Amino acid sequence: MTANEEHDDNSNYEFAYSKDFHVFSSSKRLSRETIEEMSRLRGEPFWMREFRLRSYDKFMSKPTPNWGCDLSKIDFHNIYCHATTSEKGGKKSGGDNVPESVGDMSSTFGTTKTEKRKFLARMVIQRESEAVYRNMRENLEKEGVIFINIETAVKDYPELIEKYFGKVIPPEDNKFAALNSAIWSGGSFIYLPPNVKNKVPIHADYETNAENSGQFERNLIIADEGAELHYVDGCTPPVHTASTESLHSAVTELIAMKSAKIRYVSIQNWSKDVYNLVTKRAYAYEDATVEWIDGNIGGRLTMKYPSVYMLGRNAHAEIVSFAFAGSGQHQDVGAKAVHLGQNTTSKITSKSISKSSGRTTHRGLIHVGKGAIGAKADLRFDALILDENSRTDMYPYFRVNEKDAMVSYEGAVGGAGVDQIFYLMSRGYSESDALSMVVEGFIEPFIKELPLEYAVELDRFVKHEMEHPPFNYPANLTLI
């Protein structure tokens, strides 16, 4: 078998999943009664029901943010709070016992069959509000690793969940964290015992297939002292008509105990009808490291700012993000690094591409608390604008309350250089290929941080978008 034959047929590759398995949705009307019914049907403990109701009250009392993206068109009463699918699950499956739709979804990454098997080896897939597939290697279970959906964790590990759930991101944090806390459904719970090193990534994939649906997964990940975890999540949505709208409002809480390390890779490629409003935050204790690798290439509007609170001495945070905004898109993204312990270090690198009247916004917050002696923070924004109708904005924020600290910032905005395009075309490359090479070089620092299957998808996405370059260089540019 040749290398080309081993690849699945991707001639009709789409950057969104198109199959519809939606069979049931709850009432659209968001109310205390809806939440109480949801909690009752799930058989949740009293404290979780009260947590949901308290969160609902916070959500209703908080105004919709009037900064960042335009959220005025969101109708929370026109979005289903909970939906189920025709493929039930969450149960552990063998590597060959994969739902047909899951196999189809994994094929869209453009990887070989061998890579697909690796991709499905440690994975949970959630469609709408339920898990439909979960597979975990036996060696993880033998090491005491807990990797289950969050609903099961509430029942099977009540003490762990009640102790940590909503402690990193409480409902009072913001309106959409409150919304998620009230109606959360699905998501992953992972616990690594002390000194367990998980080198092979654990994968999760989220799908929103029903029109006017909402997805509100809740992820809680705990790496105990000296443990190491590599976690990857992505999404594969369908494309609905322009008149529909869907909402993705997730909450992810990470806790890295003393000397632990968590690497969290997230790639969202929601369809153009999705409002992507996410809250992600990590606590890093003494000598702990948290790395966020965050990509945003889909959705109508995105507001996402992964953050790390460095609570202990020598904690480290590294955040690398990338955003692509095309026609009709506004990607409002960034990161936060909060230094509260001594000798803590952080590095934020944020890159974006704006094309076809798309808009990107970078927000970066560096906070150094009083007493965080020796803190060092670096913030860098890089934006590439490919046509005169696109836009990018940069908003760096610095709150430094300690004299013995070092903070640096650098921002750069520009277009694809005429000289670069000219040089590549003079070497025989077409206009679109030349622009693709410039763009690929620009995002290379981000792509190299990704697992293979996600790097392949992103590379194919960039090439697809560059087929009709909007770059406005002089009309008389010719090659002699």
Question: Mean of the per-residue pLDDT values for the chain?
Answer: 79
Lowest mean pLDDT among 36-50, 200-214, 289-303: 200-214
What confidence category does residue 103 fall into, taking pLDDT thresholds of 50, 70 and 90? very low
Give 310-352 as a DSSP string.
Answer: E-STT-EEEEEEEEEE-TT-EEEEEEEEEE-STT-EEEEEEEE
416 vs 428: CA distance, rounded Å: 18
- The shares of helix, strand and coil residues in the chain, as percent rounded to the nearest 5, are 25, 35, 40
Query: What are the tens digits of pLDDT across the range 120-129?
Result: 444 454 444 4
What's the pLDDT at 350? 93
Angle subtended by helix axes 113-121 and 100-107, to nearest 10 = 120
Query: If you search the block for the tokens 């000289």, which residue do you land on?
Result: 419
Query: What mean pLDDT do residues 144-168 have?
Result: 93
Give 184-236 as a DSSP string.
Answer: ----EEEEE-TT-B--SPEEEEEE--STTBEE--EEEEEE-TT-EEEEEEEE-
Residue 144 CB neighbour total at 10 angstroms: 12
Taking the CA atoms of residue 124, residue 229, residue 447 and residue 123 in that order, the dihedral angle to the nearest 10 degrees is -10
286 vs 260: CA distance, rounded Å: 9
**Cβ proximity of 333 and 302 under 8 Å:** yes
Strands 316-325 and 83-85: unpaired
- Distance of CA 245 to CAs 56, 107, 267, Å? 22, 26, 20
Tell me the pTM: 0.82
Adjacent-strand bridge partners of 391: 359
What's the pLDDT at 223? 97
Lowest mean pLDDT among 91-100, 192-201, 359-368: 91-100
What is the chain's Cα-based Rg?
A: 22
**Cβ proximity of 256 and 290 under 8 Å:** yes
What's the pLDDT at 81? 62
The rounded percent of the chain whose pLDDT value lies above 70 is: 74
Query: What mean pLDDT do residues 399-413 have?
Result: 95
Quick one: DSSP state of residue 115?
H
292 vs 358: CA distance, rounded Å: 24
Query: What are the tens digits of pLDDT across the range 288-341?
Result: 999 999 999 888 999 999 999 999 999 999 999 999 999 989 999 999 999 999
What's the pLDDT at 137? 56
Adjacent-strand bridge partners of 148: 189
257 vs 294: CA distance, rounded Å: 22
Q: What is the separation of C-alpha 425 from the centre of its chain, rounded to a whole number of angstroms? A: 36
What's the pLDDT at 204? 78
Q: Which two tokens stand for residue 421?
A: 């395009």
